[in-house]
Structure 1
Amino acid sequence: MKSSTTISLLVSVALALLAVFGVRSYLANQRDILAQRAGLGEPASEETILVATRALRFGEAIKSEDVRALAWPTGELPAGAFRKPEDLLGKDGELRYVMSAMEKDEPVLASKITGPGQRATLSAALGEGMKAVSIRVNDVLGVAGFVLPGDRVDIMLTRVIKVDSGADQTFVDVLLQGVKVLAADQTADDRTDKVEVVKTVTFEVTTTEAQKLTLAANVGTLSLALRNVASSGVEQTQPVTLADLGGGPMAQALKNDRADQDESRLTDLEKLVKSVGDTLGNRLGAMEDKLKPKTVPAEPAEPVLVAAPKPDFVVIGVSRNMKREEYRVHLLD
């Protein structure tokens, strides 16, 4: 037998043995896993954790019947978990209140409830160094009531300023991004799914952001843009002006048309005012004429005949040989 054939045979046998060993190890491992799942193997060490026995909402007091102990793997307890009812309820009878809504069988964590005897107020839900600021909204500015506690929104500011030419320029800017909604009106339950139009929305912001919101609410109009629940990034934004609506030339033409319409309306108004003034002046003149006293013209006097004075003499003309001579003859009384 050739040496090459012998070497190939030995390598094949070695690979076969390795494959058999690997398969046996894999099968033994799977058998142990199945045995543990079926309860046939050695049970893993466990601890207990308190979970809610019903749905708990913001502001509700937590009582002994609201929690129960549940087996939990050792070393896998979440931060802030309670192991025994005594750790949660305390010995002095001071109640804890729900700050963040929990569903049935959800672990009760310290971050979701108040301290012993502490009230369930909005101030207790604020993070360290954060402030709560409310703004006024309506059905349009508040996204038709779809902004609920726990959502994230962007806050936009619309305002009008004067440019160098003296004209008014309207623009919209994104003031804040990813702001957490604490409450809508007086509802602070972050598990509520009731959609309703609200008048105010309260946000969790820093001190600087609170100053911006307060100032912006007095110089312009604030509106909300609801963000995707998985969207947490900050976008690069820029102010949007009238020139950005469909392109510069088109928006400028629209602006010019609007200016022409305003000027035409002003001209029509001036003509109307002038017409009304003329009509009113004519009517006032007619009324003044009616109020003046009327003078009755005097009737013409009948003519009086006066006799002409009687002459003292008459003139008699006599013609002789183409020559005329006149003689005065006195009249007798």
Structure 2
Amino acid sequence: MRLGLKAKLTIAVGLATACAFLLLGVRAMREGAAMARNAAPPPLSAKAPVPAVLLVQAARAIRTGETITAAMIRNAAGDPARFPAAATSAEVVGKVATRDIPMRALIPRDAVGMESKLAIRVPMGMRAVSIDTTAEIAVAGLVRPGDRVDVQVVYPGADAISGARGTGRSRAQALLQIVQVLAVGEIVVGTQQPSGVEGALSSPPPPARTVTLALTPEQVSTLSLAKSTGALTLSLRNPADSAQVKLAIASSAGPEPVAVPVPPLVAPPVPRVAPRPAPHAIELVVGDRRETIYSGSAGR
């Protein structure tokens, strides 16, 4: 049985249409599978590590009252979730230790503070002593809290230009070395200096009249004696200079001055008071009667 031309065309068109729908279905299935793969959650992986934070630990034992500097600490990587109380370097430098911190121990935040009182900043075993200063004594007023200075003393002799004079030549010597400055005027080490208007150029602080030093009890006695008998001068040190230098006592040049004898003071003579005349009695004589009307004394 032969098909006609019209039937053949109908069958051919039907087959082509079926093939087209089949291709479209396969394409749609592929696109759906690709979308499903993209929308699927990523496979579970290992937990991401928590980034470490640079905490700080004590490079040496820090005592109560010490002002913490960068040389006293070192960085240590740590997990802040494991050590929530540990501080960073920005939180401890310039602050004072409120309790003892062992060597290599992480520094907790509650172990440091911004105490403005001088007493808590005096190192253990030391004493705070102030001396009166001028621009000449305190390196033109450039000494700042936290600096290290040497203390010299000049004992004036008979050749001193002005002020009190002693006997013999004037002498100068290094009295104390590597002394920490705790305060200049009212500015205490480790505290913020009061500033002016925000954004304005900061003006230099007014010249301080006192400098407070950290001394041992023995050094306090030495300085107190020198203050009462001589004139003190401060010399500024480089922060990295920690050498103790042995210096000889310097004395003024020239011949030994001869003390000019001072004549003794003679007391002026005491004026002599002329003696008062001795009182005499007055008698009244009437006939053979005598009557004393003045006996010569104050009372009658």
Q: TM-score under structure 2 normalisation?
A: 0.45
State which structure, 1 or 2, has the greater radius of gyration over its C-alpha atoms: 1
Q: Which has the higher contact order (CA 8 A, sep 6+)?
A: 2
User: Which protein is richer in helix relative to its size?
Assistant: 1
Q: TM-score under structure 1 normalisation?
A: 0.41
